[in-house]
C-alpha cells in the first residue's frame, strides 16, 4: 500500500487549526465577562434566579468554547507531528532507495 501525503499541506492545515484555536480562545476571553456577569433586574427571587441561570448558561458556553479551543490546539500539534513524520519517512526511504 502506497500513501502519497503532502507534508506541506498537512503542516498548512496544522497552522490553520492553530490560528482558529487561538482566535476562538481570544474571542472567548473577550466575551467571558458579559456572559457571566448578568445582574438581577430586581430584588425579587425570580430576578435573582433568572440572572443566576443566565450566568450559568454563559459559564457553560465558555467551558465548551474553551474545550473546543484546546482540542483544536491539540489537533494542530498532532498534525505537525504527522507532517514531520512523513517528511522524515520520505527522507529515510529516499536514502534507502539511493543505496
Residue-by-residue pLDDT tens, the chain, 99 positions: 667 889 999 999 999 999 999 999 999 999 999 999 999 999 999 999 999 999 999 999 999 999 999 999 999 999 999 999 999 999 999 999 998
- The predicted pLDDT at position 5 comes to 84
Classified as helix, coil or strand, 41 is coil
Classified as helix, coil or strand, 1 is coil
DSSP string, 5-18: --HHHHHHHHHHHH
pTM over 0.85: no
Using CA atoms, how far residue 96 sits from 2, 85, 89, in Å, is 16, 16, 10
Residues in Cβ contact with 64 at an 8 Å cutoff, skipping those fewer than 6 apart: none
- The predicted pLDDT at position 1 comes to 66
Q: Where are the domains of the chain?
A: 43-86
Q: Exposure pattern of 32-45 as b/e (b: 16+ CB <10 Å)?
A: beebbebeeeeeee
Query: Per the structure block, which three cell numbers stand in for 31?
Result: 466575551
Amino acid at each position: 500500500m502506497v500513501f502519497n501525503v503532502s507534508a506541506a499541506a498537512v503542516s498548512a492545515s496544522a497552522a490553520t487549526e492553530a490560528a482558529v484555536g487561538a482566535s476562538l480562545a481570544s474571542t472567548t476571553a473577550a466575551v467571558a465577562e458579559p456572559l457571566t456577569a448578568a445582574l438581577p433586574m430586581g430584588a425579587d427571587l425570580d430576578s435573582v434566579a433568572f440572572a443566576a441561570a443566565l450566568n450559568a448558561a454563559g459559564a457553560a458556553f465558555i467551558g465548551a468554547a474553551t474545550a473546543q479551543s484546546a482540542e483544536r490546539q491539540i489537533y494542530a500539534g498532532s498534525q505537525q507531528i504527522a507532517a514531520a513524520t512523513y517528511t522524515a519517512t520520505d527522507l529515510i526511504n529516499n536514502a534507502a532507495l539511493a543505496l
